[in-house]
Structure 1
Amino acid sequence: MRMLVVGGSGFLGGEVCRRGVAAGWSVVGTSHRGEIAVPGVGARRLDVTDRDAVRRLVAEVGPDVVVGTAYRADDWTVTADGAAHVAYAAAEVGVRLVHLSSDALHGGRPEPYGDEEPPSPVHVYGAAKAAAETAVRAVDPSAVLVRTSLIVGEGSKQIRLCREALTGRAVLFTDELRCPIDVTDLARAVLELATSSYAGLLNVAGPDAVSRAELGLLVARRDGLDPGGMTTATGRSSGLVRPTQVRLDSSRAAGLLRTRLRGVAELLAG
């Protein structure tokens, strides 16, 4: 089996590449600079905003599965147009597509979001992820679209942010709830879905809904850091427009996958 990971230099993309190689896959990963720091992975340079370049690369690599993880929070063309180009190229040669989406396309509410909930974005990044989903579903109805949440693990930007907040160099919001998932759990789930026939939307996130501030406290406890210096605020007081309470109901994924989606309290146990 050959897998093409678009965005293989990213935190999740790199873990998917590592897990793929360990499982015996032939893996090719892409990055904007053409560098992938994962042994055994063929690295290719790719600009996902260039539709013809994406088509050429997919045809050249000849993958059985394409995993789309590339995004840039501040760039609509990478996040939305890039996803559309990857979906078009995968559909053109008839290969399986796993597209990574985000809970950031929801606006927030007290009740959990089911797998089929329509997007309700409140900021540009969420709108771009919603547009990406619309394009992927229109181009390739057989694709699986994985809606996930904050991705944690050593080296993740989420853990770095918590450590910075614990030393007063960043701020963690107390009113922004998410369902963090470990990068290894998510990568395993992606590989399972790559060889499944599941099509459509699927929530794949952890079972624990915690605020970013609560996540910071868990990191402090695990790492033996003083939580007294942690800087917190509310999204409303900051003047930023961001999703607030976004709980993903991942019960369908939990019943479908062999991979156990662990809660953040377990992941960050001292």
Structure 2
Amino acid sequence: MIMRIFLAGATGVIGRHLLPLLLADGHQVTGTSQSPEGVAQFKAAGATGVRLDVFDRDAVKRALAEAAPDVVIHQLTALGGGSSADNARIRRTGTRNLVDAAHAAGIQRIIAQSISWAYEPGEAPATEATPLDVAAPEPRATTIAAVQALEEAVAEAPEYVILRYGTLYGPGTWYAPGGLMAAKLQAGELAADDAVTSFVHVDDAARAALTALTWPSGPVNITDDEPAAAHTWLPVLAAALGTPAPLPSTGRAGWQRGATNTTAHALGWHPTHPTWRTSFHTQ
């Protein structure tokens, strides 16, 4: 089924990978950017571009009314250089503006980006039924409260899917060569301890958003098949980046538990990069 898609955050790390997938499937896409260059890129790719400040409620309302999409896909973040406070503002205020504008335009379905490391402390990898870590102290509390606000707002839509992404790696992410994690490794700022991470390659993250167009409402963890402790995955990343690995250590925060992808598998999504073990080397 061909749909009209409003892709908020089309120039972001996932949006850049998702836009061509949507177009290849024949969907009519309106992508947002804060720059005229981004809008021009969308036009060249075969999409409609809108220059939009998601914090301008009236502009968001006009943009959605004019685009009249069947689905809003929310992939907005401040990961390009913003702080956790900047990201929290997008999750709170930007999401609120998108949801309210979608409601005003009669849009039934919203798909939104969330995270899979917002769960409360525990031993085993978290499922979608695990509560969010609402009792977390600062600075984590800022992130959790914003995630909770985003998810509650999106769940107001008649149909919604919340994609709780694992830690992104691949082209354009912090874990790619030359990215933030390479710098942190070289500076000795990463601990090879017991903290468990669930990764997801950015290509698989984008493909999950595409397939979520027809999923039932609810949250879904989008992670690869192998949650792992830092003392296991960090040496592999270091080797892929050509950087010495830190010595193994112990300890983790209770929330550093990873997340399962059983629900996503049941919905028909299977990562093409099932493990970081091999895919770190092909970023």
TM tier relative to shorter chain: 0.7 to 0.9
Checking the alignment, whether the CA contact within 8 Å between 2:121 and 2:257 is kept in structure 1 is yes
Structure 2 Cα separation of the partners of residues 23 and 83 of structure 1: 26
Residue type matched to 1:65 in 2?
Answer: V
- SS of corresponding position for 1:79: helix
Checking the alignment, whether the CA contact within 8 Å between 2:117 and 2:255 is kept in structure 1 is no
**Equivalence for 1:166:** 185
**Equivalence for 1:239:** none
Structure 1 Cα separation of the partners of residues 229 and 56 of structure 2: 37
Distance 1:213 1:165, change over 3 A: farther
Shift of residue 102, structure 1, vs aligned partner: 0.8
Structure 2 regions of 5+ residues with no counterpart?
79-83
Matches of residues 1-270 of structure 1 in structure 2 within 5 Å?
A: 1-36=3-38, 37=41, 39-72=45-78, 73-75=84-86, 76-92=88-104, 93-121=106-134, 122=136, 123=140, 124-137=142-155, 139-159=156-176, 160-168=179-187, 170-172=189-191, 174-194=193-213, 196-212=214-230, 214-223=232-241, 225-228=242-245, 230=246, 244-260=255-271, 262-268=274-280
Structure 2 Cα separation of the partners of residues 106 and 26 of structure 1: 35
Checking the alignment, whether the CA contact within 8 Å between 2:196 and 2:228 is kept in structure 1 is yes
Structure 1 Cα separation of the partners of residues 54 and 230 of structure 2: 31
Shift of residue 2, structure 1, vs aligned partner: 2.1
Shift of residue 214, structure 1, vs aligned partner: 4.3
Residue type matched to 2:116 in 1?
Answer: D
Residue type matched to 1:151 in 2?
Answer: L
Structure 2 Cα separation of the partners of residues 199 and 31 of structure 1: 27
Structure 2 Cα separation of the partners of residues 21 and 115 of structure 1: 30
Residue by residue over 1:116-139, the C-alpha shift from the partner in whole angstroms, topping out at 9 and shown as x without a partner, is: 3221143111221111111221x2
Figure out how many residues of one structure are paired with residues of the other and give that number. Answer: 261
Shift of residue 253, structure 1, vs aligned partner: 0.7
Q: Percent identity?
A: 26
Structure 1 regions of 5+ residues with no counterpart?
237-241
